[in-house]
Amino acid sequence: MEINKNVDEIMTKANTLIEALPYIRRFNGATIIVKYGGSAMLDDKLKMNVIKDVALLKLVGMRPIIVHGGGKEISKWVKLSGKEPEFYNGLRVTDKETMNIAEMVLNKVNKELVGLMQKMGVNAVGLCGKDGNMIRVNKKMPDGKDIGFVGEVASVNTNLLNTLMDNDFIPVIAPIGLDDEFNAYNINADDAACGVAKAMEAEKLVFLTDIEGVFIDPANKKTLISEMDIKTAKEFIENGVVGGGMLPKLNNCIDAIEQGVSRVHILDGRVAHCLLLEFFTEKGIGTAILKEPLF
Ligand SMILES: Nc1ncnc2c1ncn2[C@@H]1O[C@H](COP(=O)(O)OP(=O)(O)O)[C@@H](O)[C@H]1O
Ligand SMILES: CC(=O)N[C@@H](CCC(=O)OP(=O)(O)O)C(=O)O
């Protein structure tokens, strides 16, 4: 009786693995950028689920890169320093003091994620854009407005990232870059992920956040859009359907698709094994951004 039960269990597990085979084959050797937002890093268990998924993607032959955020944690420490966090179009207004806080927090988050990856038995290397001259920036001036040390990605050292991945390391990137005068700049992590995805000519860019995807009525979580072409995405931005932290995300989805990244998705990083559900099922989860409408 006991033996039969085990056989059933083994068969179920074997079938699950076999069902995953076409997807494993589809993405074999593909460069995958996972943007892991601070909003979906609520606790260690949640982080561990994401890390396990990334480890599995790596172990079945993909080339994952993590670009992480930490916005909520930065805001917490900015408040503790006696300031009120300030945003313009989803981007943090970053004076010198805020930049120092952002750098401290992001580097801490970075090393935490690297530690968890090591625990899962995959070799990760934590970097920010300063390391290996990886990310150079230009000052970002949204609508011509000066919001301080906020950078947009000007260039990415793909050579460094390829060298790491060719040697089986998973790069874990904190969104900090250097300008022409070697000043540290705060980069919105969605911008950094998109910059890395474009430079690496990634197959897939996935944004893990704290909401199921793009909603038409986000306040009431009504009408989740499972597929959206870039024309609709632009209309959503213009009409104000999308705001706050979703704004840089959706702008970057549009940019990534227009610049040749094949697949771009926004999904809920709080769902256990969201990445496996996205990669190993036909329909996936969350919102997929497409170049053109399906029909
Ligand atoms: N139309 C929309 N659909 C979904 N979320 C939206 C929309 N408009 C604004 N948002 C907000 O964007 C947030 C995600 O951005 P953010 O908090 O910056 O996440 P992250 O830390 O992952 O970058 C959601 O929690 C939601 O409040
Ligand atoms: C310029 C800018 O907005 N930088 C972001 C960088 C971190 C980030 O983007 O974190 P999430 O992905 O968790 O939002 C910030 O300071 O919050």
109 lines ligand 1 (CB under 6 A): no
User: How far is 101 from 74, CA to CA, in rounded Å?
Assistant: 7
pLDDT at residue 198 above 60?
yes
pLDDT in tens, 108-140: 999 999 999 999 999 999 999 999 999 999 999
pLDDT at residue 4 above 80?
no
Q: Is residue 1 part of a domain?
A: no
Q: What is the mean pLDDT of residues 202-226?
A: 93
pLDDT band with cut points at 50, 70 and 90 for residue 3:
low
* Alpha helical stretches, state H, the chain: 2-26, 44-59, 71-80, 96-119, 158-166, 189-199, 230-238, 246-258, 274-279
Q: Is residue 56 part of a domain?
A: yes
Helix 71-80 to helix 96-119 angle, to the nearest 10 degrees? Answer: 130
pLDDT band with cut points at 50, 70 and 90 for residue 7:
confident
Both tokens assigned to 252: 């970057």
Q: Is residue 4 part of a domain?
A: no
* 136 annotated as belonging to a binding site for a ligand: no
Element of type H or E holding 216: strand 214-217
**What integer pLDDT is reported at residue 294 of this predicted model?**
64
Q: Is residue 55 part of a domain?
A: yes
**Ligand 2 atom, smallest distance to 191 CA:** 9
Residue 253 lies in domain:
28-290
What's the complex ipTM? 0.96
* 71 annotated as belonging to a binding site for a ligand: yes
Task: Give the CATH number of the domain where residue 94 resides.
Answer: 3.40.1160.10
pLDDT exceeding 70 applies to what percent of the chain? 98
Q: Is residue 113 part of a domain?
A: yes
71 lines ligand 2 (CB under 6 A): yes
The distance in angstroms from the start CA to the end CA of the chain is: 52
Q: Is residue 100 part of a domain?
A: yes
Torsions phi, psi for 263 (to 5 deg): -130, 125
**What integer pLDDT is reported at residue 208 of this predicted model?**
97
Both tokens assigned to 105: 């927090």
Helix, strand, coil share (%) of the chain residues, nearest 5: 45, 25, 30
Both tokens assigned to 93: 């207004």
218 lines ligand 1 (CB under 6 A): yes
* Pocket test residue of 75, 186, 194 for ligand 2, highest count of atoms within 8 A of CB: 186
**What domain count does the chain have?**
1
pLDDT in tens, 14-30: 888 888 898 889 889 99
Q: Is residue 5 part of a domain?
A: no
Beta-bridge partner residues of 66: 34, 172
| Ligand 1 centre distance from Cα of residue 9 (Å) | 39
246 lines ligand 1 (CB under 6 A): yes
Q: Is residue 245 part of a domain?
A: yes
User: How far is 269 from 35, CA to CA, in rounded Å?
Assistant: 10
* Pocket test residue of 84, 88, 147, 188 for ligand 2, highest count of atoms within 8 A of CB: 188
